[in-house]
Structure 1
Amino acid sequence: MGGKPVIGFIGVGFMGHGMAKNIVQKGYPLWIKGNRNREPIESLVGMGAKEAASAKEMAEQCDIIHICLSNSPQVEAIVRGPDGILAGARKGLIVIDTTTADPTSTMALAAEMAEHGVTLVDAPLGRTPKEAEAGTLDAMVGADDATFAKVLPVIQCWAGNINHLGPTGSGHKMKLIMNFIAMGYGALYAEATVLAAKVGVSPNKVRDVIGSSRLNNGFFETFMKYTVDRDRDAHKFTIANASKDVRYVNAMAADACVTSVMASAVRQYYVHAEATGHGGDYVPMVGDHIARLNGLDMEEEVKKGR
């Protein structure tokens, strides 16, 4: 790559918009793929990005392409489809998949792409859309050393905490461990807060006590910002995505022949909430779901505690 590489970005949603914005603002030529939500597309085009009609067209123009989608089937489709990345890829193309994905799928894609002279890097994300806009996300990167050196300056546009974990696949494995812990927190906080309300301790008091103790952390704070303050945007990560991630965790554990009692238990709350039509709700709202299962209205319990 001579000079600054041409960058592509597929998936400019909650996280992707901020990441792409920071890439173009750092002076990289940027192509983005359009979707039904035109607001982030028009925003980025207004900053100087070009819009590609397909992943194939993007692959024909770019040196490095980011993918930021919801799940592995979507990634597989954008790579393998008739108008996908491989249909237009030139030898030497690097694809950075920031999706929280199934590592088994990642490894299969990496092998297939290598046959076309394309290198797959997995670099899933930590933190929230707020940090995406600020360019201070966490990145867990799986790549060989030479490829990591090539992509590091680009990743530094949108990430403030970058860990190179090993070869391709390592990032997605670590991200599943991280999200297992996070979604486990969510299920635990929800169940504990509902139990407290059921025995007469308000969610407000739970926040006061735990929030001022050594058990406090950022996830607890955003969880309780919704639970007590009813701020719907406190933690914008959907139950459907949480359900998917914990499903991938359980599959990874099964593949590794690891006992996964906790992961199996955590999965049940998210799957049940999704199955009953609440997949579009955000993770802290799983507390409302558990409250309903136990005959409570969490918003009313909060009002009682004021």
Structure 2
Amino acid sequence: MTEARTEKPRIGFIGVGFMGHGMAKNLIEKGHAMQVIGNRNRQPVEDLLTRGATEAASPAAMAASVDIIHLCLPNSASVEAVMRGPDGILAGARPGLIVIDTTTANPGSTVALAEELAARGGTLVDAPLGRTPKEAEAGTLDAMVGCDEATFQRILPVIRCWAANINHVGPTGSAHKMKLIMNFIAMGYAALYAEALTTAAKAGIAPQTVQKVIGSSRMANGFFETFMTGAVGRDREVHKFTITNAAKDLRYCAQMAMAGGMANPMGAAMRSMFAQAEAAGHGGDFVPQLADLFAAANGLDLADAVKRGA
């Protein structure tokens, strides 16, 4: 086992939360030597240590001793801190280091960091994720990848450890742009579904009926299934993506739209709904709970409507 691992790239992983834990676990199981840096939640870190990972003292120390670093962080500010901090990745980077940033990040920040890492002989790849922590644990995530073709071919076996649907979008920064488009669509669904459930209940149609009728029609999709399982099925664990992260992604998408000199009317309406939920102290709730918050703002208890619908 040890001999097999030495033939594979040594991996560092920073950010082993909802998504990162499963990704790191799968890399270990596929034979990669692993270093991790966690955050305030020690449970996923301790679990990975029991699986054979070691804990790096700092991002700089990790950068000096591994071949590829994965980042799975909340936002661009977090990525910039890990990269540029006094004990950050750039401080320890050596020629040949690859950083795979799976964060849903601001593309402008990504391109700037890529230039800074390139000046030290390294390569930054943006590889944001699709799907949920369930697929992260199973190793079947979606991955959008931004980098040159040679780098893509080099890292493809590594990404295959945690992703099943992999798309090379274009150069560095392009995958983060594509991810913002994906989340723009997804959060549009969330806002639409939240309003639809309240509209239906106010009109005397049970939430379960909406779930059944739409879910069995050509309008069904994977996001609809998890959103309705959370909002109507009352399963809080099915779609672990916070309202705060959704609001952040919509802001990044608006910045991208403005940089392109275009209007963003649908995005503005979506940002308003998520911003209201976040301002009311519900940023830590998961996206399907947006349905409860919108219902409550319109004088409806969605959980009660579900009970009555049963």
Amino acid at match of 1:222: T
Name the counterpart of 1:15: 19
Amino acid at match of 1:212: S
Whole-Å separation in 2 of the counterparts to 1:35 and 1:71: 14
Given the alignment, which residue of 134, 156, 160 partners 1:156? Answer: 160
Name the counterpart of 1:187: 191
Name the counterpart of 1:289: 293
Q: Is the 1:65–1:95 contact (alpha carbons within 8 Å) kept by the matching residues of 2?
A: yes
Name the counterpart of 1:108: 112
Given the alignment, which residue of 47, 50, 58 partners 1:43? Answer: 47
Name the counterpart of 1:223: 227
- Unaligned segments of structure 1, at least 5 residues: none
Q: CA deviation at 1:55?
A: 0.5
Amino acid at match of 1:33: I
Q: Deviations over 1:120-157 (max 9, x none)?
A: 00000001111111111010000001111111111010
Whole-Å separation in 1 of the counterparts to 2:259 and 2:38: 36
Q: Is the 1:89–1:118 contact (alpha carbons within 8 Å) kept by the matching residues of 2?
A: yes
Q: Is the 1:34–1:53 contact (alpha carbons within 8 Å) kept by the matching residues of 2?
A: no
Alignment partner of 1:105: what SS?
A: helix
Name the counterpart of 1:267: 271
Given the alignment, which residue of 239, 244, 249 partners 2:248? Answer: 244
Percent of residue pairs identical: 66
Q: CA deviation at 1:82?
A: 0.5
Alignment partner of 2:121: what SS?
A: coil
Name the counterpart of 2:72: 68
Whole-Å separation in 1 of the counterparts to 2:161 and 2:238: 25
Q: CA deviation at 1:303?
A: 1.3
User: After the TM superposition, which residues 55-134 of structure 1 pair with which residues of structure 2 at under 5 Å, given as runs?
Assistant: 55-134=59-138
Q: Is the 1:72–1:101 contact (alpha carbons within 8 Å) kept by the matching residues of 2?
A: yes
Amino acid at match of 2:284: G
Amino acid at match of 1:266: M
Q: CA deviation at 1:33?
A: 0.9
> Is 1:147 equivalent to 2:183 in the alignment?
no
Amino acid at match of 1:184: G
When normalised by structure 1's length, the TM-score is 0.98
Alignment partner of 2:186: what SS?
A: helix
Alignment partner of 2:161: what SS?
A: helix
> Is 1:298 equivalent to 2:298 in the alignment?
no
> Is 1:135 equivalent to 2:118 in the alignment?
no
Alignment partner of 1:272: what SS?
A: helix
Amino acid at match of 1:113: L
Q: Is the 1:97–1:121 contact (alpha carbons within 8 Å) kept by the matching residues of 2?
A: yes
Name the counterpart of 1:209: 213
When normalised by structure 2's length, the TM-score is 0.97
Amino acid at match of 1:153: P
Q: CA deviation at 1:3?
A: 3.1
Q: Is the 1:22–1:135 contact (alpha carbons within 8 Å) kept by the matching residues of 2?
A: yes
Whole-Å separation in 1 of the counterparts to 2:82 and 2:134: 26
Whole-Å separation in 2 of the counterparts to 1:212 and 1:135: 28
Name the count of aligned residue pairs.
305
Alignment partner of 2:64: what SS?
A: helix
Q: CA deviation at 1:71?
A: 0.2
Whole-Å separation in 2 of the counterparts to 1:270 and 1:196: 21
- Unaligned segments of structure 2, at least 5 residues: 1-5
Alignment partner of 2:69: what SS?
A: strand
> Is 1:232 equivalent to 2:236 in the alignment?
yes
Whole-Å separation in 2 of the counterparts to 1:186 and 1:291: 13
Name the counterpart of 1:257: 261
Amino acid at match of 1:43: D
Q: CA deviation at 1:209?
A: 1.1
Name the counterpart of 1:200: 204
Alignment partner of 1:32: what SS?
A: strand
Whole-Å separation in 2 of the counterparts to 1:34 and 1:172: 23
Runs of 4+ residues deviating >4 angstroms: none
> Is 1:24 equivalent to 2:28 in the alignment?
yes
Q: CA deviation at 1:304?
A: 1.5
Amino acid at match of 1:30: M
